[in-house]
């Protein structure tokens, strides 16, 4: 991938596009139906967090973990066809879509966007950048997550409702995808709370794993 220095990352770090309810079992556990079109939201770049730094829990202290495969755009584009979409992928990351559930429920009920529930500082912990050779089949990798050593999530990207080419094509018809953009492809079932003092460990098969401590923000 032609790489440019983007914020504090060498290969990604631009806009973060979240996809919601992209695993039917997770949609079910949230009391939702499986969407007929991708559910899309944005996180600001200030949500990025790298290992060695704590997840800072917002004051209402009601945050869930969501482990996800992140797709990093390597070649910009708009109106990308599904058949050419994978040529726009520059690599991958393992990511967490930390979600403030009380706030999310409030905004859902009021018909408001998820910006604050999904976009708080440190709400997007990410692994190191993985190049294409490290994830040869992104639709067949295990996503797992443990809190304090206890398994909470364990699912396979094969179960995504909308696969990566569909997501890239769909998104690029609405907004230009730039080099370094990150698409969070949704979380499998098993989401649950993270509290002050918890240790969150997650992985993408045995390709990469990462660990974060959670703390109440001051
Ligand atoms: O908050 C949610 O449940 C939507 C979402 O991000 C996901 O499904 O990954
Ligand atoms: Mg998510």
pLDDT in tens, the chain (218 residues): 333 334 444 578 899 999 999 999 999 999 999 999 999 999 999 999 999 999 999 988 899 999 999 999 999 999 999 999 999 999 999 999 999 999 999 988 899 999 999 999 999 999 999 999 999 999 999 999 999 999 999 999 999 999 999 999 999 999 999 999 999 999 999 999 999 999 999 999 999 999 999 999 98
What pLDDT is recorded for position 5? 39
CA of 35 to the centre of ligand 2 (A): 14
What pLDDT is recorded for position 3? 35
For the CA of 191, the closest atom of ligand 1 is 3
Asked if 56 and 121 touch (Cβ cutoff 8 Å), the reply is yes
By CB neighbour count within 10 A (0-12 exposed, 13-18 middle, 19+ buried), where does 83 fall?
A: exposed
CA distance 197 to 215: 6
Tokens, residue 136: 């040869």
What pLDDT is recorded for position 60? 84
Instruction: Report DSSP state, residue 133.
Output: G
Q: Return the residue whose CA atom lies nearest to atom 2 of ligand 1.
A: 20
Domains in the chain and their CATH numbers?
A: 6-216 (3.90.850.10)
What pLDDT is recorded for position 91? 95
Q: Which residues line ligand 1 (CB under 6 A)?
A: 18, 20-22, 26, 30, 66, 97, 99, 186-187
What pLDDT is recorded for position 136? 97
Tokens, residue 186: 């949704």
- Separation in Å, CA 28 to CA 126, 191, 210: 26, 12, 27
Q: Return the residue whose CA atom lies nearest to atom 6 of ligand 1.
A: 20
Q: What are phi and psi of 45, to 5 degrees?
A: -65, -20
Mutate-to-test residue for ligand 1 from 16, 17, 19, highest number of ligand atoms within 8 A of CB: 19
CA of 19 to the centre of ligand 1 (A): 7
Residue with tokens 């969501």, as numbered in its chain: 66
- Separation in Å, CA 216 to CA 31, 122, 155, 207: 28, 12, 28, 30
Asked if 34 and 161 touch (Cβ cutoff 8 Å), the reply is yes
CA distance 167 to 87: 13
- Terminal C-alpha separation, the chain: 40
What pLDDT is recorded for position 85? 98
What pLDDT is recorded for position 168? 99
- Separation in Å, CA 29 to CA 56, 77, 106, 110, 156: 25, 35, 18, 21, 17
What pLDDT is recorded for position 10? 56
What pLDDT is recorded for position 46? 95
Length of the chain: 218
| Ligand at shortest distance from the CA of 64 | 1
ipTM field: 0.99
């Amino acid at each position: 991938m032609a790489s440019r220095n983007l914020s504090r990352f060498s290969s990604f770090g631009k806009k973060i596009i979240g996809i919601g309810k992209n695993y039917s079992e997770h949609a079910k556990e949230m009391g939702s139906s499986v969407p007929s079109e991708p559910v899309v939201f944005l996180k600001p770049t200030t949500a990025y967090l790298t290992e060695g730094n704590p997840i800072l829990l917002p004051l209402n202290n009601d945050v869930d973990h969501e482990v996800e495969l992140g797709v990093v755009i390597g070649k910009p584009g708009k109106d990308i066809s599904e058949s050419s979409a994978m040529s726009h992928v520059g690599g991958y990351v393992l990511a967490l879509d930390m979600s403030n559930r009380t706030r999310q429920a409030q905004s859902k009920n009021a018909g408001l966007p998820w910006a604050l529930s999904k976009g708080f500082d440190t709400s997007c912990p990410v692994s190191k950048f993985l190049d294409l050779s490290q994830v040869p089949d992104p639709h067949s990798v295990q996503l797992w997550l443990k809190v304090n050593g206890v398994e909470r999530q364990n699912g396979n990207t094969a179960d995504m409702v909308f696969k990566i080419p569909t997501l890239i094509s769909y998104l690029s018809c609405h907004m230009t995808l730039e080099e370094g953009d990150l698409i969070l492809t949704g979380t499998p079932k098993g989401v649950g709370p993270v509290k002050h003092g918890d240790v969150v460990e997650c992985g993408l098969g045995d390709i990469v794993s990462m660990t974060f401590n959670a703390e109440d923000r001051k």
